[in-house]
A and B are shown apart, each in its own frame.
Chain A
Amino acid sequence: MSKTKSVAADVDIVPKGTDEDWVYTQTIKEHFFSPQNLITDASKMKDYDGLGMVGSPACGDMMKVWIRVDKKADKIKEMKWQTFGCGSAISATSMLSVMVSEKGGMQIEDALKIKPQDITARLGGLPTRKIHCSVLGDKALLSAINNYFLKSKQKDRVIKESKRMIDKIAKVTDHDIEEAVLEGAHDLAAVQKKTKAGIGNPSVIPEIEQLIRFYTEKYFG
Chain B
Amino acid sequence: MPNNIYLDYASTTPTDPEVVKAMQPYWNDVYGNPSSLYSMGQKSKKALIAARSAIADTFSCQPEEIIFTGGGTESINLAIKGLFQYQKEPRHMITSAIEHHAVIDSAESITRQGHAVSILPVDEDGLVNLKDLETAIKDNTLLVSIMLANNEVGTIQDIRAIGNFIEKLNKKRVAKDLPKIFFHTDACQAAGALDLDVQKLHVDMMTINGSKIYGPKGIGVLYKKRDVPLTALVSGGGQERNLRSGTENVPGIIGLAKALELAEKNKKKENARLSKMRDWLIEQILQIPKTRLNGHPTKRLANNINISILDIEGEATLLYLDEIGVQASTGSACTSESLEPSHVIRALGRPYEAAHGSIRFTLGKHTTQKDLKYLVSKLPDIVEHLRKASPVDVDMDTLDKSIKTFPREITEL
Which residues does A use to contact B, with CB under 8 Å?
1, 4, 6-7, 11, 13, 15-18, 24, 32-33, 35, 38, 40-42, 53, 57-64, 82-87, 89-90, 129, 133-134, 189, 192-193, 196, 199-200
Complex Cα spacing A57 to B311, Å: 8
Q: Determine whether the beta carbon of B389 is less than 8 Å from that of A60.
A: no
Q: Determine whether the beta carbon of A60 is less than 8 Å from that of B333.
A: yes
Pick the contact of A4: B316, B323, B351, B391 (CB < 8 A).
B323
Pick the contact of B319: A11, A62, A64 (CB < 8 A).
A11
Complex Cα spacing A187 to B402, Å: 30
Pick the contact of B338: A1, A13, A82, A192 (CB < 8 A).
A192
Those of B322-348 within 8 Å (CB) of chain A: 322-325, 332-341
Residue of A nearest to B353 (CB): A57
Those of B345-400 within 8 Å (CB) of chain A: 351-353, 356, 381-382, 384-385, 388-392, 394
Q: Determine whether the beta carbon of A42 is less than 8 Å from that of B391.
A: yes
Chain A residues within an 8 Å CB radius of B336: 15-17
Interface size class of chain B, counting residues whose CB lies under 8 Å from the partner chain: 35 or more
Asked if B93 is at the interface (CB within 8 A of a chain A CB), the reply is no
Complex Cα spacing A14 to B197, Å: 36
Asked if B99 is at the interface (CB within 8 A of a chain A CB), the reply is no
> Which 10 pairs, one residue from A and one from B, show the smallest C-beta to C-beta distance?
A17-B337, A40-B388, A86-B315, A86-B334, A64-B391, A57-B353, A58-B352, A1-B385, A82-B391, A84-B390
> How many whole Å from B391's CB to the nearest CB in chain A?
4
Q: Determine whether the beta carbon of A35 is less than 8 Å from that of B389.
A: yes
CB pairs A–B below 8 angstroms (16 shown): A1-B384, A1-B385, A6-B323, A32-B319, A33-B323, A40-B388, A53-B391, A57-B353, A60-B332, A82-B389, A86-B319, A86-B334, A87-B334, A90-B316, A199-B333, A199-B339
Asked if B204 is at the interface (CB within 8 A of a chain A CB), the reply is no
Q: 1/0 contact trace for B288-316 toward A, CB 8 Å? A: 00000000000000000000000111111
Q: Determine whether the beta carbon of B313 is less than 8 Å from that of A86.
A: yes
> How many whole Å from A214's CB to the nearest CB in chain B?
23
Chain A residues within an 8 Å CB radius of B323: 4, 6-7, 11, 33
Query: How many A-B contacts at CB < 8 Å in the complex?
Result: 109
Complex Cα spacing A73 to B69, Å: 70
Pick the contact of B392: A40, A41, A57, A189 (CB < 8 A).
A57
Q: Determine whether the beta carbon of A57 is less than 8 Å from that of B337.
A: no
> How many whole Å from A65's CB to the nearest CB in chain B?
9
Chain B residues within an 8 Å CB radius of A24: 319
Q: Determine whether the beta carbon of A87 is less than 8 Å from that of B391.
A: no
Asked if B3 is at the interface (CB within 8 A of a chain A CB), the reply is yes
Q: Determine whether the beta carbon of A60 is less than 8 Å from that of B334.
A: yes
Which residues does B use to contact A, with CB under 8 Å?
3, 311-316, 318-320, 322-325, 332-341, 351-353, 356, 381-382, 384-385, 388-392, 394
> How many whole Å from B6's CB to the nearest CB in chain A?
15
Complex Cα spacing A64 to B392, Å: 9
Chain B residues within an 8 Å CB radius of A42: 391
Residue of B nearest to A32 (CB): B319
Chain A residues within an 8 Å CB radius of B320: 4
Given contacts A40-B388, A58-B351, contact A7 B333 (CB under 8 A): no
Q: Determine whether the beta carbon of A57 is less than 8 Å from that of B332.
A: no
Q: A87-B315, A87-B334, A200-B352 are in contact. List 7 more A-B contacts (CB 8 A).
A: A15-B337, A17-B338, A57-B356, A59-B352, A87-B316, A87-B319, A189-B338
Chain A residues within an 8 Å CB radius of B324: 4
Q: Determine whether the beta carbon of B388 is less than 8 Å from that of A41.
A: yes
Given contacts A42-B391, A83-B390, A84-B391, contact A60 B335 (CB under 8 A): no
> How many whole Å from B388's CB to the nearest CB in chain A?
4
Chain A residues within an 8 Å CB radius of B318: 13
> How many whole Å from A135's CB to the nearest CB in chain B?
13
Residue of B nearest to A196 (CB): B339
Residue of B nearest to A132 (CB): B339
Residue of A nearest to B324 (CB): A4
Q: Determine whether the beta carbon of A38 is less than 8 Å from that of B389.
A: yes
Residue of B nearest to A65 (CB): B391
> How many whole Å from A37's CB to the nearest CB in chain B?
11
> How many whole Å from A59's CB to the nearest CB in chain B?
7
- Most chain A beta-carbon contacts within 10 A, residue among B311, B316, B322, B384: B316
Chain A residues within an 8 Å CB radius of B314: 86
Residue of A nearest to B3 (CB): A7
Chain B residues within an 8 Å CB radius of A82: 389-391
